[in-house]
Structure 1
Amino acid sequence: MHKPSALALSLLCAATLSACSSNTTPLSSAQRAQQLAQQYIIVDTHIDVPYRLHKDWEDVTVATKRGEFDYPRALAGGLNAPFMSIYIPASYERTGGGYQLANQLIDSMEALVGRAADKFAMAYSTQDVLGQFGSGKVSLALGMENGTPIEGKLENLQHFYQRGIRYITLSHSESNHIADSSYDLRRRWNGLSPFGKELVVAMNNIGMMIDISHVSDAAFYQVMQLSKVPVIASHSSLRSYTPGFERNMDDDMIKTLAKNGGVVQINFGSSFVTMMANQYGALRKAAAKQAGVADDEAFELEFRKKHPYPFATLDTVLDHIDHVIKLVGINYVGIGSDYDGVGDSLPIGLKDVASYPNLIEGLLKRGYSEADIEKILSGNLLRVWREVEQYAAQQKAG
């Protein structure tokens, strides 16, 4: 299915007067949203397909029974360029093996493209995303979630850049040799490690985006001081809706990110966007402890029967987007859904990659222009990626 360009749409209207005359019934907001989802590039900076398939393989070239991503649903939702997360669990920092796993996960995405070259294509640059737009192919970009596979070696950064990695989330759920994690109470480095500071400079120079999702506040501000180019939060939401949850960004951080030219890509997970869902796990663990039983899958099923999970809604996610825009303007927000990465906690109305038109319809109903919607869907992220590419090209030429 080819996405028509704006010019093609206007020519179609000119040629099909019956479809465009004032006598026809105007498109509903849902129909308009479907049209815009196909008309504009949609970039989602965090989808956990590689690790999902590593644990539980399915053929995502066709409709799947599990997960939130497959080719038919991506096509239906208008998703053009998902960043496939090369996710390395934090435990690999201690056990080793992260370098090998990262390469295996990259291999799996290349194999997917090899098996279904009519449906998928690798995307190593903004030009690849633009050039493949309208081809019917989903462009697979790669981001590494957790810098553990770098193993303190800049030659590994070069290796993974050559393999297609275009951003690195510096740490994950535990502090590593690069940066402290927002989840880790042990602040080993009080921000970035000495190697982490070196890595930020090297990532700038090589043309790889720096992702500050998951890092501690101190690490975030140190990245901001060091980076010569805009950075991203590939899948973060806002702390003003989840007070005390350091994994999200507070207003001062968003202002600093915007001053840097960066972009926060809003995570759709209910626990990232509402306080009730954010505290649900702690309440369940406390109940298990009080009952003197293990907080296992069986207990969770029973707990949910008595205490249904407080799913967020589409409007909650839209509130996060609104908040960023009211705080710093339209140019600094996008989407990083965390599909296939947040279990069954996705909001009502945003359950899988076929749901982007619902988000667009919500934006239309809140009065956003098409130009603004295009920035949220991809324009802001592509601007950052392009600036990172251009800076690296200048360094190489200089």
Structure 2
Amino acid sequence: MTLRQFPLLFLLLILSACSSEGGTGAPEMSDAEMRAHAEELVQQFLITDGHVDLPYRLKVKNFKLDKEFLGIPIETDAGDFDYKRAVKGGLDAPFMSIYIPSGLQEEPGESPKLADSLITMVKGIAAAHPDNFRITTTPEEMVQNFKNGIMSLPMGMENGSPIEDQLSRVEEYRNKGISYITLTHAKDNLICDSSYDTTATHGGLSDFGREVVAEMNRVGIMVDISHVSDSTFWQVVEMTDVPMIASHSSARHFTPGFERNMSDEMITRLGEEGGVIQINFGSTFLDGNLRSRQDSLRDIFRERLVEAGIEYGDEGTEELEEAFTKEFPTLYADVETVADHIDRVVQFAGVDHVGFGSDFDGVGDSLPTGLKDVSAYPNLIYTLLKRGYSDEDIEKMCSGNVLRVWRAVMAAAS
């Protein structure tokens, strides 16, 4: 009598043998082995992050491209990103955010002026450090840079306000190196309504916004629906011909009432359309209780300012803030919370539709424990391995899913 005469037993033995092969987060791995495997994977896989706010941080710090400042992107104690920490963490392709504050759109010409300034800065960093960075405008370039050991610097424009009312600028920004555009930011603009605004100026997309989305599809710029209102999202979904991204959003399930994150229904539909949501690491994007606490503390601090007879920024504000922080210490989410959001997306859309969109250098002092800067991706990969995700699953999250969307957008454009 042979095992093949007992099909069920034979199948169980085969499955058992398969599960013990290849270190893919299987239960047979010890904790130390799993941590070591995570460290291996971050160097083995191409890792892209959908949103890193380095350019605006440097702009605010009066960055100048001269000898005094050339080292900032390579090694610095400031901020969440530099080259050495990124290499340690396995980050190969951070999308540089060309962030345009919403207030600039009130003054014609100011938004495009800042956009051009930040684009020039990123290109200047790559030109100053050709052995470390390379401007990247296609998925094929990104993959080749990874093979050559060069960090890619793709660019995404956070807020479409620099387009103003000039449709031709969509293609102009593509030619300048922009690979995705977040349609709006904190206020409604000429394109669409924002999740943070309450005026609902257009009821979603404006007529001009529909032209912008169609033009983005035509020239090969990914449509980013982070920051947009729910109405805008559903209207974009109905009209776009290619998959979309949410470059730095999280799951609203964990932050009820926070429209900036995506609902289960939106995540499901994004997946059905082939898109990807890249999880934001900011603690208030991850934990609704922390967001409520932060809002409450903000009101209390305003009351303290009134009681002290000063306005924010006046002399004495710094001392008041320091005392307030001691009284109400900052609380953080942790790396497990980020994994919870990934689990939620996988539940509603599948593992092919989730990635990383940290918002490093953009969310200030709110990054979760275990993910405080770009050196910490191994902690997230380790957490995902613990939860049973395979190496193949993790490679999709690291870059495979975003590369698929980007290729689809480029193919449709060509």
Q: Is the pair's TM-score, using the shorter chain for normalization, greater than 0.5?
A: yes
Match in the other structure for 2:155: 142
Q: Aligned partner of 1:174: which letter?
A: K
Cα contact 1:288–1:295 (8 A) shared by 2: no
Match in the other structure for 2:138: 125
Are residues 1:344 and 2:365 paired?
Answer: yes
Match in the other structure for 1:39: 44
Match in the other structure for 1:388: 409
Higher alpha-carbon deviation: 281-290 or 343-352: 281-290
Match in the other structure for 2:4: none
Instruction: Choose which of 163, 170, 176 in structure 2 pairs with 1:163.
Output: 176
Cα contact 2:270–2:349 (8 A) shared by 1: no
Uncovered stretches (5+) of structure 2, i.e. residues with no partner? 1-29, 64-68
Match in the other structure for 1:244: 257
Uncovered stretches (5+) of structure 1, i.e. residues with no partner? 1-24, 394-398
Match in the other structure for 1:5: none
Match in the other structure for 2:74: 62
Task: Give the alignment of 1:97-136 within 5 angstroms.
Answer: 97-136=110-149
Instruction: Choose which of 340, 348, 353 in structure 2 pairs with 1:332.
Output: 353
Higher alpha-carbon deviation: 92-101 or 217-226: 92-101
Match in the other structure for 2:234: 221
Give the count of matched residue pairs. 369
Match in the other structure for 2:380: 359
Structure 1 position 26, deviation (Å):
9.9
Give me the whole-angstrom Cα distance separating, in 2, the residues matched to 1:317 and 1:384: 22
Match in the other structure for 1:370: 391
Give me the whole-angstrom Cα distance separating, in 2, the residues matched to 1:300 and 1:322: 37
Match in the other structure for 1:49: 54
Give me the whole-angstrom Cα distance separating, in 1, the residues matched to 2:116 and 2:172: 10
Cα contact 2:249–2:262 (8 A) shared by 1: yes
Match in the other structure for 1:87: 99
Structure 1 position 277, deviation (Å):
2.1
Give me the whole-angstrom Cα distance separating, in 2, the residues matched to 1:164 and 1:366: 37
Higher alpha-carbon deviation: 321-330 or 334-343: 321-330
Structure 1 position 155, deviation (Å):
1.3
SS at match of 1:28: helix
Structure 1 position 295, deviation (Å):
5.4
Match in the other structure for 2:6: none
Q: Aligned partner of 1:196: which letter?
A: G
Give me the whole-angstrom Cα distance separating, in 2, the residues matched to 1:199 and 1:78: 35
Give me the whole-angstrom Cα distance separating, in 2, the residues matched to 1:281 and 1:300: 14
SS at match of 1:106: helix
Q: CA RMSD in A?
A: 1.4
Give me the whole-angstrom Cα distance separating, in 2, the residues matched to 1:94 and 1:289: 27
Task: Render the CA deviation track for 1:161-188: whole Å, top value 9, x for unaligned.
Answer: 0001000000000110101000001110
Match in the other structure for 1:281: 294
% of aligned pairs identical? 47
Higher alpha-carbon deviation: 235-244 or 56-65: 56-65
Q: Aligned partner of 1:336: which letter?
A: G
Give me the whole-angstrom Cα distance separating, in 2, the residues matched to 1:238 and 1:27: 31
Structure 1 position 158, deviation (Å):
1.1
Q: Aligned partner of 2:248: which letter?
A: H
Shift in alpha-carbon separation, 1:61–1:285, aligned structure 2, 3 A: closer
Higher alpha-carbon deviation: 54-63 or 375-384: 54-63
Task: Give the alignment of 1:192-207 within 5 angstroms.
Answer: 192-207=205-220
